[in-house]
Amino acid sequence: MIRQCSLQDDDVVRQIWALQHIAYRMEAQLIGVKELPPLMDTVESIRRCDETFYGYFNEEEEIQGVVAVEQEEPDTLTVSRMMVHPSAARQGIASRLLSHVFEQYPDVPLYIVSTGTKNEPAVGLYRKHGFQPIEAFEVAPGVELTTFHRHNPDIKNEQEV
């Protein structure tokens, strides 16, 4: 079941933090870096962030996956975090979380996400959901991130009108 996560709930925030450390350590290995900014987060920094978190909970109320979003600019929504527990990988959880975001924010013209260019599972997920690469940039020697955009198909681009 997917639902919004309360960042006031200690257990939920601790589960997000633990999942984040597992998932982003794996991404760091995939893209060839030792550290990623999400690995520097603490329970308190997650609790204080301006992002909205949605969790995929199993029957035991354990978080199996999380997506976080934030509106950094008008008319855009940034997918700021996406993570699935390795024991729940390849079960469609990330796809369900992304679909949930699109359902929760149907009036947003543009969705944005960035991921490690070498993170093939994430790149494949975003492409499958209609995201297109816009730019790639080096964040450390030999480490490249790609930013993807997905235009909302239900909202006409002003230039098309």
List pLDDT tens digits, range 103-161.
999 999 999 999 989 889 999 999 999 999 999 998 777 778 899 999 998 886 554 43
pLDDT at position 157: 57
Q: Residue 84: which domain range? A: 2-160
Contacts of 17 (CB under 8 A, 6+ apart): 41, 42, 43, 46
Note if the pTM is more than 0.75.
yes
Count of the separate structural domains present in the chain: 1
CATH number at 98 reads 3.40.630.30
Contact 76, 110 (CB under 8 A): yes
